Structure 1
Amino acid sequence: MIYKEKEDLKYVLCYTRKPQENLIYSEKLAYSMHLAYSEDGVGFQELNHNSGILFAKATENDNGSLNAKSLKNPYIFYLADGTFGILAVRTGAEGENDEESKGRVLLFTSADLLQYKEIGLIDLKGDTYISDIKCQYDEDKKVYIICWSDESGNYYKNFTADILNINSASIPEKTEAFVIENVNTEIEGVVPRNVISVSMEVAHHLICKLIVPTNVEIKVPESVNITSEKELKVVKATAIYSDGTTAMKNVDWNLSEIDWNKSGKYRITGKVHQDHYEFPIATDRADPCIGKWKGKYYFIATNDADGNHSLYMREADNIPDLLKAEEKLIIDSNMYEDIKGLLWAPEFHIVEGDLYILHGATSGEFFYEESHVMKLKKDGNPMDAKDWSRPHRVVKKDGNYLCEEGKTISLDMTNFEIDGEYYVVWSQREFLPEDIGAWLYIAKVDPKEPWKLISDPVVISKPDYGWANNNVFVDEGPFTLIRDGKVFLTFASAMIDATYVVGILCADKNADLLDPASWTKGNYPLLTSRSALGEYGPGHNSYVIDEDGNVWNAYHARPGVNGPRSSGLRRVHFDIDNYPVLDLTEEKDLNPELRNVIMDIIVR
């Protein structure tokens, strides 16, 4: 069925989860707000693969390093303007008491329960740790009533006319105990909180955004007028999905009954085309990238099989043929005296008509890893190592190297163009005097020498959510997808194990991309170990657009919790807001029972 706003889907349950083992669902993930929906307020279905939607932001120290936070006991309520407020008890990363939050409760606002703004800690003026919370707005008195309990079992209430003013709450008054109505549900690991009724519009939007769409219908024209087989090949099928979105599909038509030399009407059958990419498409290949250059497709990835000492490339006429194409060595740790290994995250980029490979490399150990750029010689063959320049180490606009060797590393640099201006985004991590984590930076580059910055680096993301600092504070692996006036920048976060995930930043194409305020970060990751069965720690992805206009997501994941990092490939769908959907698996992309189609053609 296709979900429509007229359906009475209007109950939302918020909950947290019981933590599991670290690599499966740690405290940093479990102690976040999850959502489930119900048509009748009784039977609830989890949203977003039973993964968190709302996470508490880390706090920041003077040197920029972060203190991870989690949340417990979230409570959704309506604000005076009809939008949503969420109160929660902020905790330390593992759910322990948070000294900074003593006597305070964390407030978020949201218009749609998808994107949230963290307002801050409301001071409830009590010198005690808060254990539970609820809130409601009294329309008659025009005041919010915040009820809470402490660890000793005492109950209090505060009043405020302006809940967004975090210092405006009254002195707490003792009050009677409250109980949040229990919800019985079979959702795995659920720690239920409150249920709130929502408009059909809000419910519809949540369902369409947080349940992976499935193919529910295929349409082809009833009849077409054509003169040749070539004209028939451009007739496509329209795949319709449960959220109302669509995608165009090629059809493999049976032409055996057609006499192209005889005018008339013919009824033909066909099968909607789908290329099959079983995971993994390449074992021991991480950070994959597929590029197009002069009518050919190329595949390159980090080589885990030899400890990251080499980069190999494949070439084919189309994407499916890349899977069986021969690999050829492009660079290894024996070619140049200053390239000793850790050849990481290679990417193809075309800058003013020239082909480049951006990659990481070290001149010694891990702490010397830095971003580099290789250029293909004019009229060179991408598959010939001799036609690639020596790697150029990236430099700042003053000519000095981007990072100080042995102190700060840079890696995972990507390149994109907006209106003739070229930008790079990369991951940078300072280790000395203190490891402050890996952050995403952006700068403009000289298109003639795209290893030279022409603006100062600017931080646009830190690993401030629990899913991003799970086991390690890391944002890395950025790559852009530019579509309909938006710049989508996906990136990988957390440790490169089963906890690895893909997050997203978004900016308007015409915004000042060097201004961090132009970028909006999604509160929750787009791709996790719960997104596709048997694929653990998906991350470090890239995009390529094929000859039919389909966008493909190349990513790595592990076939098993402790399996080798291996490459996968999946079509990118676009949701009702035209945002990328990265977890649309093949069986949801095209229903096998709907593949067979019939159409009349009129040969003229």
Structure 2
Amino acid sequence: MNTNREYSNPLVEQRADPWVYKHADGYYYFTASVPEYDRIEVRRSETIEGLTEAVPVVAWRKYETGPLSANIWAPEIHYIDGKWYIYFAAARTTETNEGLFDHRMFALENESANPLEGTWVEKGQVKTAWESFALDATTFQHKGVLYYVWAQKDPEIPGNSNLYISEMSNPWTLTGPQTMIATPEYSWEKIGFSVNEGAAVLRRNGRIFMSFSASATDYNYCMGLLYADEDSDLLDAASWTKHPEPVFKTSEENGQYGPGHNSFTVNEQGEDVLIYHARNYKEITGDPLYDPNRHTRAQVLHWNEDGTPNFGLPVKDSSK
């Protein structure tokens, strides 16, 4: 199916690191980083385009002090074994840098059928092998196993973050070996910062595809792709292959800069849809992390004849 469905972009303004999940109830659930980095919002709509006007509900707010007091980044909402979970990263406020790059990962749980209602309960920090900068967690289930994928700084490896995978014993606890499946190795992954982060998983055509984002969060930000055979041992680093070139990057001609930190969903026509953020200008004043204009965008994801995804170019903003 290739209807070339077009969306009115930006889909949601000033929302970075967007996550859209289509649930069995027919609703699309949306969460993302807010410019203030002080809370987690969730909204829902029966259509992707309806997310633009959907009213957000605050699920959780940061604390004034302690490990959950600064830079609330990149929430994702998942439905696992009959309950809702939000994974996010948070840092602690300090006098010098407000916790920049001191993040840890945390989980929230909600038993309500509708996650815009009920209570979000803190399940605590998702502990990994090290106490170091960690963020951008995602989960997926495959062959009855719940997997957790995240970005973290290994204290023994140069660079800012690598991608890791682990099994989970429950939605907030890792178990067994933790395997590094990607580290910045190409020049396009090391501009400004040496970063692999923001993983999102798509299972199609006998493979597990995993997109990720690389480099600094300015116009150099871009997306790479890992893939593994669906029958392989996903905890074996050798099962994963990294595409040597970025699969989605700045398009000067379309006026889109620094596309990345994506998620995948499916539209009403059954097509795969790429959800991502980008800016519509190149030059940024000050730290890109504090520029609020990374807007959420959507476009149909196409497929090559060999069964691999074709991301194409980030599309132009719509004429409003």
Normalized against structure 2, the TM-score is what? 0.88
Equivalent in the alignment of 2:44: 315
Distance 2:81 2:255 in 1: 41
Match of 1:299? Answer: 30
1:429 aligns with 2:153: yes
| SS of 2:75 mapped into structure 1 | strand
Q: How far did 1:424 drift?
A: 1.0
Matches within 5 A, 1:373-392: 373-377=107-111, 379-384=112-117, 386-392=118-124
Task: Tell me the CA shift for residue 465 of structure 1.
Answer: 0.1
The Cα of 1:586 is off from its aligned counterpart by 6.5
1 CA distance for matches of 2:254 and 2:6? 19
CA distance in 2, matches of 1:577, 1:444: 29
* Equivalent pair of 1:370/1:403 in contact (CA under 8 Å): no
Residue 468 in structure 1 maps to residue 189 in structure 2: yes
Amino acid corresponding to residue 141 of structure 2 in structure 1? E
Q: Can you give the 5+ residue segments of structure 1 that lack an aligned partner in the other structure?
A: 1-246, 250-272, 397-401, 588-604
Aligned residue in 2 for 1:403: 130
Q: Please state if 1:513 is matched with 2:253.
A: no
Contact 1:496 1:537 in 2 (8 A): yes
* Amino acid paired to 1:549: G
Structure with the greater relative contact order (CA < 8 A, sep ≥ 6): 1 or 2? Answer: 2
Looking at structure 1, the residues matched to 140 and 244 of structure 2 have their Cα atoms a distance apart, in angstroms, of 24
User: Which letter does structure 1 place at the counterpart of 2:168?
Assistant: V
1:20-419 maps to which residues of 2 (within 5 A)? 247-249=1-3, 274-278=5-9, 280-293=10-23, 294-304=25-35, 306=36, 308-334=37-63, 338-364=67-93, 365-377=99-111, 379-384=112-117, 386-396=118-128, 402-404=129-131, 408-419=132-143
Note if contact 1:532-1:585 (Cα within 8 Å) is conserved in structure 2: no
2:289 is matched with none
Specify the alignment match of 2:167 in structure 1.
Answer: 444
Residue-by-residue CA offset, 1:331-352 (whole Å, 9 max, x unaligned): 1214896420211111122222
Structure 1 residue 534 and structure 2 residue 261: aligned?
A: no
The answer to whether the 8 Å contact 1:531/1:583 transfers is: no
* Distance in 2, Cα, partners of 1:552 & 1:546: 6
- Secondary structure at the counterpart of residue 464 of structure 1: coil
Cα distance between partner residues in 2 of 1:535 and 1:473: 22
Report 1:565-604 matches (<5 A). 565-583=294-312
Q: 1:274 and 1:461, CA in 2 relative to 1: closer, same or farther beyond 3 A?
A: closer
Task: Say if 1:286 and 1:565, in contact at 8 Å, map to a contact too.
Answer: yes
8 Å Cα contact 1:573/1:581 also seen in 2: yes
Structure in which a larger fraction of residues adopt helix = 1
Kindly state the Cα deviation for residue 567 of structure 1 after the two structures are TM-superposed.
1.1
The 3 A distance-change label for structure 1 pair 335 and 319 is farther
Question: Shift of the alpha carbon at 1:585?
Answer: 6.2
The answer to whether the 8 A contact 1:332-1:341 is kept is: no
Q: Give the match for residue 211 of structure 2.
A: 490
Give distance in 1, aligned partners of 2:121 and 2:60: 10
Instruction: Determine the C-alpha separation between the residues in 2 that align with 1:419 and 1:495.
Output: 35
Ranges in structure 2 where 5+ consecutive residues have no aligned partner: 94-98, 285-292
CA distance in 2, matches of 1:324, 1:335: 30
Structure 1 counterpart SS, 2:16: strand
Which one has a bigger Cα radius of gyration? 1
Which whole-Å CA distance do the structure 2 matches of 1:428 and 1:520 have between them?
19
How far apart are the structure 2 equivalents of 1:467 and 1:381? 41
Summarize the Cα distance change of 1:565–1:427 in structure 2 as closer, same or farther, 3 Å threshold. same
Q: 1:389 to 1:369 in 2, by over 3 A?
A: same
Aligned length: 302
Give, in angstroms, the shift of residue 300 of structure 1: 0.8
- Counterpart code for 2:27: K
Shift in Å, 1:548:
2.7
Structure 2 residue matching 1:283: 3-state secondary structure: coil
Q: How many angstroms apart in 2 are the aligned matches of 1:562 and 1:281?
A: 22
Secondary structure of 1:467's aligned partner: helix
- For residues 503 and 443 of structure 1, do their structure 2 counterparts lie closer, same or farther at Cα, with a shift above 3 Å needed? same
